[in-house]
Structure 1
Amino acid sequence: MKYTLEHVRNKHLTICERTLIQLRLKDGHTVYSIAKEIGCAYNTIKNEIRRGSKKMYRSRRLCYRAETGQEKYEANRTSCHRTGKFRECAEFIKCVESDFSSPLKKWSVDASAGRLKTERFFTKKNSVCTKTLYNWIHKGIMEVRVSDLPESLRRKRHIHKNRTGKMRLGNSIENRPAEVATRNTFGHWEIDTVIGKKKGKNAVVLTLAERKTDFYITRKIPAKAASAVNSEIKRLFSDFGENPEKIFRTLTSDRGLEFASLAEVENEGTKIYFAHPYSSYERGINERHNRILRRFIPKGTDINKISEAELERIEDLINGLPRKRLGYKTPEELFNEQLDLIYRL
């Protein structure tokens, strides 16, 4: 501690200043003159004398002592701090942890926190931002552990590389309309497959993600083959009735062999585009959803043993997950709004 007799404005009294008060009172100085000498308010000295005075020996008279004033000051300081934010938000934290660990939801920390605040269950006073929650997780004071966060070690920065001399399956993503990249128009999808076991002939999951609403479609197909993919895409188109091209305006896939014949399903309303080789970030939305799917279907799982009902349940859980980008609405809510607009016309 730096001791000085020069008082700093808007700062608490120091032990040196309290000692000066004691000496000046003993010499008969007035409270006003002591305050003027120290350079603080009259009430500051008056209140300090009241707090630091005590009876000496058998005398009934109160005498100010610097040690007594310092002890009371330090005792008061221990209980004057703000109640910990973690305690104030205990109920909010409990709800976030429950949504994260629930097998029926498996919501991310951000999704749960955003949804709780959007639905006005919690105010700013009894809730915190997502960054604070993640800071607490990394400090180990929440039940959610860093190892439980599926994206904690996966994020990478991608650098686009121009690649030439690769096989051409159809229109390149370079020819795709610019409006697709903005994610402001509905009907632009990214497509991929998720495999289970690598050995043997096994079923795979065909996945599609809509870029504007983040709506996710999963379909189980018997094999990772072009014929199986095309058959399921045609079946998917028919499930949406007449004019499916209003819902599926474009499809963007990678250059996997299972999409080698995908251009065959192209028509006047639905256009097919292929990303650059080794550029999965060009279909980042689908890749992101596939990682969420992996929470339910880990690598090495035999997809043959997963029923259609179970896959539909997983799809509903993913589409029922609130998203920060969507204002903490769910993809299902926004997708249904778009379908209402299309079929109402």
Structure 2
Amino acid sequence: MVDNGFSPAAALKAIEADEEEYRTNICESTLYNYIYRGDVFLILSPEHLREKGKRHSEKHPGREKKAARTPRGENIEHRPDEINGREAFGHWEMDCVVGAAGSKRTLLVLTERLTRTGIIMPMRDHTTASVIRALNRPERKYGKNFRELFKSITVDNGSEFADCAGMEKSCRRKGKRTKLYYCHPYSAHERGSNENMNRMIRWFFPKGTNFDEVTGKDIQRAEDWINSYHRRVLGWRSADTAMRECLAQAD
């Protein structure tokens, strides 16, 4: 928990997954109690817990705002139930994590809805052209398999995602490479998995980070950690494990 940033629950599940054996076994609630008691562990303390309380979203009925611009693509209301219900692999959510004021580089973050697999790609600036160039990278990497791995991508109404046709267009052949859906304005919960991944990224790169000074190795380290983290929502599997299982079933 201290060295790798695991939550108490994730640490216990990692022990189970690695089949490590100890003379004493404790449950999650007992571990939390020991941490907050402060007289059990030499180093571990409540300060090492990254999330110290339950997350909640504040809702204001009747105060819905309108989008600053009309979405250039299909609204999320038309997204098939298969995607909404997380029933199939290959449907992603996408957003940007920006750096400190004055820094140009931005992170493009993709999260697969079923497995929560994350991809973090640095971009040289926060523009539509950079988003398209970033999406070209995995398409060139996966070639003809890209369309099966990235069947759809859900985004918000940010200016960097205004070029729907450009993001959907294949850089390898004629036609589309994926399908874009746009969330309702000011509805971050419609990209919930993506928002959660953004929070995890901020553990590595807090607000105010200058991404001009962050290396590719630093970004890859964050991505690897996030994808290897044991998650309750995945039955305490990691996103890497869930992804491998989905790909194995597809074969």
TM surpasses 0.5: yes
Which has the higher mean CA deviation after the structures are superposed, 184-193 or 328-337? 328-337
Q: In the TM superposition, what is the alpha-carbon distance from 1:114 to its structure 2 partner?
A: 1.4
SS in 2 for 1:236: helix
State the match for 1:117 in structure 2.
Answer: 16
Structure 1: segments with no counterpart, 5+ residues? 1-99
Which has the higher mean CA deviation after the structures are superposed, 147-156 or 220-229? 147-156
Q: In the TM superposition, what is the alpha-carbon distance from 1:136 to its structure 2 partner?
A: 3.1
Q: Which structure 2 residues correspond to residues 94-133 of structure 1 after superposition, within 5 A?
A: 100-102=1-3, 105-122=4-21, 126-133=24-31
State the match for 2:217 in structure 1.
Answer: 309
Tell me how large the CA RMSD over aligned residues is: 2.4
1:337 to 237, 240, 245: 245
State the match for 2:172 in structure 1.
Answer: none
- 1:292-311 deviation line (CA, Å, top 9, x unaligned): 11111111111111122221
With normalisation by structure 2, the TM-score equals 0.85
State the match for 1:156 in structure 2.
Answer: 56
Letter of the 2:2 partner, please give it.
Answer: S
- 1:93-118 deviation line (CA, Å, top 9, x unaligned): xxxxxxx111xx32222111112134
1:137 to 8, 23, 35: 35
User: Per residue, is there more strand in 1 or in 2?
Assistant: 2
With normalisation by structure 1, the TM-score equals 0.63
State the match for 2:83 in structure 1.
Answer: 180
SS in 2 for 1:189: strand
SS in 1 for 2:144: coil
Q: Return the alpha-carbon distance in structure 2 between the equivalents of residues 197 and 281 of structure 1.
A: 24
Q: Percent identity?
A: 32
Distance change >3 Å, CA 231–CA 120, structure 1 → 2: same
Q: Return the alpha-carbon distance in structure 1 between the equivalents of residues 80 and 58 of structure 2.
A: 22
Query: How many residues were matched structurally?
Result: 240
State the match for 1:223 in structure 2.
Answer: 125
Distance change >3 Å, CA 154–CA 326, structure 1 → 2: closer
Q: Relative contact order (C-alpha < 8 Å, sep 6+): which is higher? A: 2
Higher-Rg structure is 1
| Cα pair 2:131 2:167 within 8 Å, conserved | no
Q: In the TM superposition, what is the alpha-carbon distance from 1:272 to its structure 2 partner?
A: 0.7
Distance change >3 Å, CA 302–CA 112, structure 1 → 2: same
SS in 2 for 1:276: coil
- 1:176-213 deviation line (CA, Å, top 9, x unaligned): 11122322310111111111212x24101111111111
State the match for 1:56 in structure 2.
Answer: none
Distance change >3 Å, CA 277–CA 223, structure 1 → 2: same
Letter of the 1:135 partner, please give it.
Answer: N
Letter of the 1:213 partner, please give it.
Answer: T
Distance change >3 Å, CA 184–CA 136, structure 1 → 2: farther
Structure 2: segments with no counterpart, 5+ residues? 170-175
State the match for 2:46 in structure 1.
Answer: 146
